[in-house]
């Protein structure tokens, strides 16, 4: 991703790389600092993905891999 110019923030709970704490804190910092529309793609524990609240998470391996674009909440 970096090779094609996409910023990839890193967060680790042991401070071995990037931000030391929850990745959701890094996400909130990015959302607060950049008013442009965002596309968020994530994988991980449901508790992490639900931290932003109100989202209907789908698993591409089960409910996908193809979704009707009208059913996706584009932020």
Please name the residue that has the structure tokens 């989202």: 55
| Distances from the Cα of 12 to the Cα of 17, 23, 24, angstroms | 6, 7, 11
Instruction: Please count the structural domains in the chain.
Output: 1
Higher-pLDDT residue of 33 and 1 is 33
Residue 55 has what pLDDT? 65
Q: What is the pLDDT of residue 75?
A: 59
**% the chain with pLDDT above 90:** 0
Instruction: Report the candidate in 57, 63, 62 with the shortest Cα–Cα distance to residue 42.
Output: 57
Q: Looking up tokens 């401070």, which residue turns up?
A: 15
pLDDT of 49: 73
What is residue 19's three-state secondary structure? strand
Residue 52 sits in which domain range?
Answer: 2-71
pLDDT band at 61 (very low <50, low <70, confident <90, very high): confident
Q: What is the mean pLDDT of residues 24-41?
A: 81
pTM over 0.85: no
């Amino acid at each position: 991703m970096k090779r094609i110019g996409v910023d990839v923030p890193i967060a680790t709970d042991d401070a071995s790389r990037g931000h030391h704490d929850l990745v959701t804190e890094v996400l909130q910092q990015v959302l607060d600092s950049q008013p442009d529309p965002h596309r968020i793609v994530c994988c991980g524990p449901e508790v992490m993905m639900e931290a932003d609240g109100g989202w209907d998470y789908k698993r591409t391996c089960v409910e996908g891999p193809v979704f009707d674009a009208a059913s996706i909440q584009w932020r």
